[in-house]
Structure 1
Amino acid sequence: MFFQSGPDIAHTLVVGALAYLALVAMLRLSGKRTLAKMNAFDFVVTVALGSTLATVLLSTDVSLLRGSIAIGLLVLLQFVVASLSTRSEAFQAVVKSRPRLLLEAGVMDRAAMREERVATEEMLAAVRGGGYARLEDVGYVVLETDGSFSVLPEGNAPPTALANVTGKGAQ
């Protein structure tokens, strides 16, 4: 119960080390985008990679080659989806959410916050995290595609960085 046979432990050590090296090599080959901040699709791929690696590590029924092919397939699919997302706005709209304007000129958009399931306390924490003590000093708070908040100061310049943000004040 507490100890397995020697061959099972040896299998886990050898296959685990080799599967780990294969995963690191594939992630390095696929580029920085694979390890970027996660949106929903990236999260699914990350969970699937972890599950696949765990299966390769712990199951003697799955060969190292088969597990490496599965990991390679997931990395390839993530690479293809990321590549298509950069080439097609329609495809990007299917796999990624759009950023959402939650606060403009110090005024919270309560409807947008409800739709995005953002509590007032989370908004206030984001504002404080951006270095502001007063909502009136904040120009915009954007809920980004990865779930993080961007807090932008009030200013006179046109908000060109808000071009792809959904909301009442975005152009």
Structure 2
Amino acid sequence: MWHDIFALPVSVAEKVVRTLLVYILILALFRLTGKRGLASLNAFDFVVIFLLSNVVQNAVIGNDTSFTGGAIGAVTLVAVNSVLNRWLAVDKRAAHIIEGTPTTVIEDGKAVPSAMRRLGLRPDELSDAVRKQTGTEISSVSHSRLEPDGRLIVVLRYEETNANRADIVTLERHLAKIEGLLHSRHDRDEKEG
């Protein structure tokens, strides 16, 4: 029994190479299909992910059902992913090639149809993402871009932006001045009257 759990029917090198090749293939497939939908997955995306893991399982482990083989595959995946993430953090050119670039999806309050088609985004998905992020409609957006990691960056039109703390402090100062003027006028009117 113990022998079957830990015995490797294929070499460690073959196991590592298989895992690397599958990792590169999946990375390339996701890169070619583009950024996906506003940092959220729909039901179709989940189906693809679940089936994809099953489809490539044998390519990673071969005929190996041992614990050792699974451990080698898992360690290889985690190690390669960690090295790749560190490399992308320091090499902007590699990040540009592997991850891609942001895509403008809204310009001057209107969705960009060519970008929407290229990304496979439906107008209702974009509207929903803008509403969730800003509480407003697409028409309130100056411009917006979809990052390679699926985040939607939204810049509202100036007239649609909310007040910040500095705006409130300035308004409070103006109101205090007006209140002071009204009090002084009221006091003057009472003395004269």
Give the TM-score normalised by structure 2: 0.46
Give unpaired runs (5+ residues) of structure 1: 1-6, 16-39, 157-171
Hey, what does 1:137 align to over in structure 2?
A: 140
Runs of at least 4 residues of structure 1 off by over 4 A? none
- Name the amino acid aligned to 1:146: D
Matched letter for residue 130 of structure 1: Q
Q: C-alpha deviations, 1:103-152, integer Å up to 9, x for none?
A: 12312222222222222222211222123343332222221212342333
1:133 and 1:153 mapped to 2: Cα distance? 9
TM-score where L is the length of structure 1: 0.51
Contact 1:132 1:138 in 2 (8 A): no
Aligned pair count reads: 116
Q: Is the 8 A contact 1:103 1:140 kept in 2?
A: yes
Aligned-residue Cα RMSD (Å) equals: 3.9
Q: In the alignment, is residue 116 of structure 1 matched against residue 119 of structure 2?
A: yes
Q: Alignment partner for residue 147 of structure 1, among 150, 159, 169? A: 150
> Partner amino acid for 2:137?
R
The structure with higher relative contact order (CA 8 Å, sep 6+) is 2
Residue in structure 2 matching 1:128, options 131, 135, 139? 131
Tell me the SS of whatever aligns to 2:116.
helix
Alpha-carbon contact 1:86-1:92 (below 8 Å) kept:
yes
Q: Does 1:73 align with 2:76?
A: yes
**Offset of 1:89 from its aligned partner?**
2.1
The 8 Å contact of residues 106 and 137 in structure 1, kept in 2 or not, is answered as yes
* Structure 1 or 2: more helix by fraction: 2
Native 8 Å contact 2:127 2:137 kept in 1: no
